[in-house]
Amino acid sequence: MIKKLILLTTFLLGVVSLNAQTEEELKTILSAKKDSIAAIEGRANAIQAQIDALPGWKIGAFGTLGGSLSGYQNWFSQAAPNNSAGTIGATLNAYANLKQEKYFWRNSLNVNLSWVKLDNEDDPTDEEDFKETNDIFTLTSLFGYNLSKTLAVSTLGEYRTTLLNNFNDPGYLDLGVGFTWTPIPDLIVVVHPLNYNFVFSEGDSVFESSLGAKIVADYTRKIGAINFKTNLSAFMSYEDADYSNWQWTNSFAYTLWKKIGVGFDFGLRSNKQEALNYAIAQIADGDTVPTLENVDNELQTFWNLGMSYSF
């Protein structure tokens, strides 16, 4: 009996030792495979960089779609036990860029739209339709003639407005000339000291067009399964600092399966004329009418998280 126990113990110890050795060997093999994959990805990225540097058109797009729907019936733990709610958000980033030895022409489109609703079914006066929230439309076209590998004389046209509410009221059109710096293939920095900011609006309006300087910085890149774009656009008025404005938008998309993945967008904006226009629309009878000098120009922000699709 003792001999059998000794043999069984020896056998079990051998199995444990064998499994441990096999696990270590597998980890070593896995580490080597990961190093090989990283090396292959590095070579592929280097080849892609060479392709991107070739003359000709480069066209692409990616976007984010997020949303949720819910419904409650007789859910008495909340103030509105019978309700339906929903949110929908969509973002599109598209570009069409032409690169030649002597010149370049870069075009981009950014659209960010979202809707939200909360319908209290017990309140007949409650709004049951989706309401617009995010509403951004930006179209940019930049043409440049190369003075060197990284510096060009350029002209820029940029149009910004809303699509769902008050199209072109306001609408902003920047037209200007200056210089564009491209230190690396995916980054452009535009400095146009001569730029006119046209502001379109209907009826009596607080919006004013003015002459100023335009600065744009854009970085758009795809690395493996990740698409991302960051864009800063700023106008600095020579006539009045209160006419100045800026907007910074960011989009990230990570591909999980084929072209489908997860996307995240966020943005910041400062525009004192927009803040004044909103403040005037909110005043009641007898309230003091705000002005550009005393209006509270709070920072505008948005974000959207959802499913992404890369074209």
**Model confidence pLDDT, tens digit, residues 86-137:** 888 888 889 999 999 999 999 999 998 888 888 888 888 877 788 888 888 9
Residue with tokens 């003359």: 55
- pLDDT of 18 reads 46
Classify strands 260-271 and 245-257 as parallel, antiparallel or unpaired.
antiparallel
39-48, 126-135, 261-270, 283-292, range with greatest mean pLDDT: 261-270
Average pLDDT over residues 46-60: 73
- Give the DSSP per-residue string, 48-101: HHHHHHSSEEEEEEEEEEEEEEEEESS-TTSS-SSEEEEEEEEEEEEEEEEE-S
- Quick one: CA dihedral 279, 281, 287, 293, positive or negative? positive
CATH fold, domain 56-310, is Outer membrane phospholipase (ompla); Chain C (2.40.230)
Q: Is the pLDDT of residue 161 over 90?
A: yes
- pLDDT of 50 reads 65
Q: Is the pLDDT of residue 253 over 50?
A: yes
Quick one: tokens of 52?
Answer: 């991107």
What is the Cα–Cα distance from 11 to 5, expressed in whole angstroms?
A: 10
Per DSSP, helices labelled H in the chain are 2-53, 272-282
- pLDDT of 45 reads 63
**Residue 55 CB partners (closer than 8 Å, separation 6+):** 99, 100, 101
Question: Where in the chain are the domains?
Answer: 1-54, 56-310
CB 239 within 8 A of CB 196: no
Average pLDDT, the chain: 84
pLDDT band with cut points at 50, 70 and 90 for residue 16: very low
Q: Is the pLDDT of residue 37 over 80?
A: no
Quick one: tokens of 196?
Answer: 């006119």
> Helices then strands (H, E): number in the chain?
2, 12
Q: Is the pLDDT of residue 84 over 60?
A: yes
**Residue 271 CB partners (closer than 8 Å, separation 6+):** 245, 246, 247, 297, 300
- pLDDT of 293 reads 87
pLDDT band with cut points at 50, 70 and 90 for residue 1: low
Q: Is the pLDDT of residue 9 over 80?
A: no
